[in-house]
Structure 1
Amino acid sequence: MPLTGEKYTQLNQPEATTDGEDRGRWIACDESGWDGEQLVGRQRRFMVYASVAVDDVEAAALIQQLRDQAGIRQAKELKFDLFKNRTNRWSLLQHLWEPGGALHDRCSVYVVDKEYAAAAKVIDLLLEEKEHDEGGNLYADGKARALARTLALEGPRALRGTLFQELMSAFVTLASRRGTSRQDEALGVFVAALDQAWAASTRKAVTALLARLRGTRDYAATFHKDPADPVFPQLEMLIPAVAQTARRWDRRVGRVSVLTDEQQMLTDDALRTVREYACAPVGMTLLTRERGADVAAVVRGDSVDHPSIQLADLLAGAAAAVTERHEGNPSDVGEGLWPVITSFVEQSSLLPYDDPAAQLRSVKERPVRR
């Protein structure tokens, strides 16, 4: 059902998309595993943002071909749920994506480890702010990323039992919009959890990091002091994912237009922010600065009307199954599709590893059920 309300009136794309000089290449996108600001303690640890470089004209023919081959007649649109439990159907997707397939070199998967994202936000919103005020720069030489990795990867081992989960949950509650109405209470819970974690830590690197974080209470107390309502929440991962997707596709094919599936978080203002960020240069130094992308438009559409979004949905669902496999929750479709799906994983994905694709090829030894 199309989104309604004044926040969703301007950047809609009701017409079929067509590649051309004015709009460039159309990139259709869809997500799986989005939980808003709730980054920890969720059923699924990963959010995937899938994109396909295909316009609606070409996508319509591919969707019809899949319908005919899979024998799907009644459904208004093709969703991954129609394919995932039937080998003869998901193997059609495999043929579409594998070398020689129609979409092999036209797919991208940006993966967000939500628990790592929360750890990165701890560093970004607390420690980096303090360091900046004191004349330091945690972004130089990858220091902030290294600290986030320490917290995400070593924290659970250093804080036994439920201590790490309690600490991260307290931070998310404080930093998210839901903490606005009870800021003093949320701050008290976070500070207590931080003190307890520091006292109980069994790893030197984690203990040292927690000691530094204990000095950021004043910064934690100001999360919601600014009366100006931001375009999107501080812990929101979907909007940065759209911007990253636009930037990466520009590097591959030049000028692009991005068509997102309708999502409540993707308001007109949010989509404008995505395009503004994607078009702006980023980087802390001249050596690391990356030019802005050539993004002609960032708009939303209904998947029923846009077969290109249906192709993105199929890719997002398959990528989600592969991340579940990595977490130790196997399925036939995840086992069958991981070789092709991991080849689409972006190096810039928000995971605490230098090679995200290689990590997602592995499987945790013990099943993890959340």
Structure 2
Amino acid sequence: MRVLPIEVACDESGAEGEKLVGGNTDVFCHASVRLTAAEAADCVRELRALIRSPAVEYKSGHLLREKNRHALEWFLGPAGPVAGRANAYLVDKRWLLLLAFAGRLLDTPAFADDPDVTGLGAQGVASVLYRASRATARPRLWTRFLTVLNDLMRFGAAGEAASAADLVELAGELRPNEPLAAVDGLLGLFGRHRAGLDALLRTRRRPDPLLPQALDPLLPAILRAIEHWSADGAPVSLVHDRHVTLTEARMARIAEFHTESGPGARLSAIRLVASGADPRVQVADYLAGVARKLASDELLGTADPALTGLVRHHVDSRSIWGDAESRARVLRAV
């Protein structure tokens, strides 16, 4: 007996391609909701009635205004429209970058065999640098260092313009300010292995234009949405907001590996729409923007615990989150 697909609407907030540090946002969120068009339209109408803004199209910023807190609490709350019917996949961009760097490090024997790396593993390497970059007395210097690291790992103009020599210099400036031996050792790698940095970090091979970029969290987030909503065995049909990187050809290529005739029989179809044309995508847009902002507030230490507690029920437990202190507050329990 053929199982009908589950139709899920998606949108994102904070997407900046492979730029993970030094951009406009420190958190990326991909939200997916399982609502009918009528239910989503009712949600949009109710928010308009609660907020009473003359804006033609509402965005998450309307819900996040203090004067509209009652609307936000209704939207996220247990009696709200998305309770049990939504999933918000968060990515701590700095953590994603350092995980990617650690993976390349351990795949390169000259670096992996260094005494300051041996035994740490990818998670360990990323954790040491992540914690140091957040606890430092020199946050701007760390941001400069991570921005250059990020640029070196990107393909194209940003990567070509970045300088490995600048990275070595910045690592050298950071070392005297880092009291932990593990941090000092990892930062020392850049100077000790200066000659091999280009081979380790630069992405010289032009990526397949139909496949996701290595550091861009958007496509992996979409695949995670498929996995989440197909967990009970039913295939999934996605309705997704249009995005510059989500070309029809690219989505079709990704779908080849997740269609009903392929491995897992997880994906039935993907359809791209303008957000204003589908109220379900509008609701996903609200959730993506709200979850991203509230999660970012946790990283910045400016969070409202009550709102974090509400949004947590919608956050994917498999989100990419590096801050151990806020992890239990932000991510839904497994």
TM category, shorter = 0.7 to 0.9
> Could you tell me which of 122, 129, 136 is aligned with 1:151?
129
Q: CA deviation at 1:105?
A: 0.3
- Residue 176 of structure 2 is aligned to residue 206 of structure 1: no
Which residue among 146, 149, 152 is the counterpart of 1:174? 152
Report the RMSD for the aligned CA atoms in angstroms. 3.6
Name the amino acid aligned to 1:48: C
The TM-score with structure 1 as length reference comes to: 0.72
In the alignment, the residues of structure 2 paired with residue 117 and residue 92 of structure 1 have an alpha-carbon distance, to the nearest angstrom, of 32
Query: What is the SS of the residue equivalent to 1:51?
Result: strand
Which residue, out of 203, 218, 226, partners 1:246? 226
For structure 2, list consecutive stretches of 5 or more residues without a partner in the other structure. Answer: 114-118
Task: Indicate the SS of the match to 1:83.
Answer: helix
Q: Report what 1:188 is aligned to.
A: 165
Partners of 1:45 and 1:113 within 8 A in 2: yes
Judge conservation of contact 1:76–1:304 (CA < 8 Å) in 2.
no
- CA pair 198-276 structure 1, distance change in 2 beyond 3 A: farther
Counterpart check, 1:50 vs 2:31 = yes
User: In the alignment, which of 319, 322, 334 is matched to residue 349 of structure 1?
Assistant: 319
Q: CA deviation at 1:265?
A: 1.7
**1-structure distance, mates of 2:112, 2:24:** 39
* Rounded Cα–Cα distance in structure 1 between residues aligned with 2:138 and 2:76: 42
Instruction: Tell me the equivalent position of 2:106.
Output: 128
Q: For the structure 1 residues 83 and 359, does the alpha-carbon distance in structure 2 shift closer, same or farther, using more than 3 Å as the test?
A: closer
CA, structure 1 residues 262+270, in 2 after alignment: closer, same or farther (shift >3 Å)?
same
Counterpart-to-counterpart distance in 2, 1:63 and 1:179: 41
Match of 1:83 among 52, 59, 63: 63
User: Cα distance, 1:311 vs. partner?
Assistant: 0.7
Seen in structure 2, the aligned counterparts of structure 1 residues 78 and 142 have a Cα distance that, compared at 3 Å, is: farther
Query: SS of the residue aligned with 2:165?
Result: helix
Cα distance in 1 for residues equivalent to 2:135 and 2:63: 38
TM-score scaled by length of structure 2: 0.79
Shift of 1:228: 5.0
Return the match for 2:274 from 297, 302, 319: 302
Residue type at the aligned position of 1:208: G
The residue aligned with 2:92 is: 113
Match of 2:242 among 262, 266, 283: 262
Q: Is the 8 A contact 2:90 2:321 kept in 1?
A: yes
Structure 2 vs 1, CA of residues 224 and 330 (structure 1 numbering), >3 Å: closer, same or farther?
closer
Change (3 A) 1:216 1:279: farther
The alpha-carbon distance between structure 1 residues 103 and 161, as it changes in their structure 2 partners (threshold 3 A), is closer
Q: Of the candidates 275, 278, 290, which is equivalent to residue 318 of structure 1?
A: 290
> Aligned-pair distance for 1:330?
4.7
SS of the aligned residue for 2:64 comes to coil
Change (3 A) 1:298 1:236: same
Counterparts of 1:351 and 1:304, CA distance in 2? 30
For 1:245 and 1:107, the matched residues in 2 are separated by 10
- For residues 43 and 120 of structure 2, what CA distance do their matches in structure 1 show? 43
Q: Cα gap change, 1:226/1:279 in structure 2, threshold over 3 Å: closer, same or farther?
A: same
CA distance change for structure 1 residues 298 and 199 in 2, over 3 Å: closer, same or farther? Answer: farther
Aligned residues: 321
Is this contact kept in 2: 1:247–1:292, CA < 8 A?
no
- Do 2:27 and 2:90's aligned partners in 1 also have CA atoms closer than 8 Å? yes
- Report what 2:78 is aligned to: 99
Q: Partners in 1 of 2:207 and 2:30 — Cα distance?
A: 29
Residues 304-355 of structure 1: CA deviation (Å, up to 9, x unaligned): 1100011111112221331243144758xx5653221012111211111568
Task: Give distance in 1, aligned partners of 2:194 and 2:229.
Answer: 38
SS at 2:107's partner residue?
helix
| Equivalent pair of 1:347/1:356 in contact (CA under 8 Å) | no
Structure 1 residue 67 corresponds to structure 2 residue 44: no
Contact 2:164/2:197 (8 A) holds in 1:
no
Residues 76 and 217 (structure 1), Cα distance of their counterparts in 2 relative to 1, 3 Å cut:
farther
CA distance in 2, matches of 1:253, 1:68: 38
User: Is the contact made by 2:226 and 2:267 (CA closer than 8 Å) also made in structure 1?
Assistant: yes
